[in-house]
Amino acid sequence: MLHRVCRITSFQIVGRYTLRVQFNDGSEQTIDFELVLYGQMYGPLRDVAMFNQVQIDPEVQTLVWPNGADFDPATLHDWLELGEAFAERARQR
């Protein structure tokens, strides 16, 4: 079984809690993170100033924030299919 390795190559902040994310396979996703910003790790990102401090971790090439929050780049790559389930789990915490 092949495991696809997704890496984030760049991103742009395009709105409140929304990023356009480009991947190493040439694809991109525009992701509104608002529905997943709950809980101890992601809740602090509701502060827009904190959310906008997002960076790409140079080692694992995914999105990271100063409080240690991050997302699996494969999840972000497949956000259209996985985002709703991720949001549901986030709301339950």
Count of structural domains, the chain: 1
12 in a domain, yes or no? yes
28 in a domain, yes or no? yes
pTM of the predicted protein model: 0.87
Q: Are 66 and 52 in contact (CB under 8 A)?
A: no
Q: 86 is in which domain, residue-wise?
A: 8-92
65 in a domain, yes or no? yes
2 in a domain, yes or no? no
64 in a domain, yes or no? yes
Give 29-80 pLDDT, tens digit per residue. 999 999 899 889 999 999 999 999 999 999 999 999 999 999 999 989 988 8
Question: What is the domain-level CATH number for residue 35?
Answer: 3.30.2020.10
* Residues sharing a CB contact under 8 Å with residue 75, sequence separation 6 or more, in sequence order: 82, 86
30 in a domain, yes or no? yes
